[in-house]
Every structure is written in structure tokens, then in C-alpha cells.
Amino acid sequence: MGCSEERWQCISQCGSCCRLDPGERQDALGALSESQRELYLSMVGADGWCIHFNSGSRSCRIYDTRPDFCRVSNLMSLFGDSPDGDPGDADGFAIACCKQQIRSEHGGRGRVMRRFLRAIRRQP
């Protein structure tokens, strides 16, 4: 299934994007402004996870007030706009980022990946 048939959607109890370990996220750090980078680094816990991530419920404690770099909808503006301004490119980019993070944290064939793939399928 290609990205044109998919629409990005966050799934509950995933938390893959909450793994902020700077050693694993150099690309993310490089895309941030100096003030964003300082905030990002202040959010990294000793275990590499965001200090606002609730590992029990696998949810963000500050979801409604999370920083702009934690919002998947802002990924294209952080990493570069699509050349033709196609909003579908933003979905495709977000989907690729989430797949990479989920694969890294939960495995490519695990329950979280299966739930994500079901969630992003466009409904007829």
C-alpha cells in the first residue's frame, strides 16, 4: 500500500516518538533552533525517554501543551517543505517518520506497528 492511500494518524499507547535519546536523534536535534534544542535536551530523562512520557499508560503527560517539535504536524516545517506544496507529502513524511520510530522501539512486525498500519489506511 503506497502513502497516497494512507493518511497519517497518531495512535494511543505507542509513545515511539517520546524516545528522545540525543545519540539516536541527531537529525532531529540538527533541525531545531537553539532555543528548541535547549528545551528538547531538558526533556530527555536519564533513560533517553522524555521526562513527560508516562510509561505505564504509554502517554504524554503534557500532550495538549507539548512543544511544537513534538507535534507530528510540524515535521515538514522542521525538516523541509514539500517541493510542490502537496499536503499528501506531509502525510507521507509523517508516516515514514512514525514507521521508522515504531520499528526502532517496538519492532517492524509488532502489535504497535500493526495498529499504526490499520489506523493510517484511508477509509473509502
The reported pTM is 0.78
Per-residue pLDDT in tens (0 to 9) along the chain, 124 residues: 444 588 888 899 999 999 999 998 888 899 899 999 999 999 999 999 999 999 999 999 999 999 999 988 777 777 765 545 555 578 888 899 899 999 998 888 899 999 999 999 965 5
For the chain, the first-to-last Cα distance in angstroms comes to: 14
How buried is residue 48: exposed, middle or buried, by Cβ count under 10 Å (0-12/13-18/19+)? middle
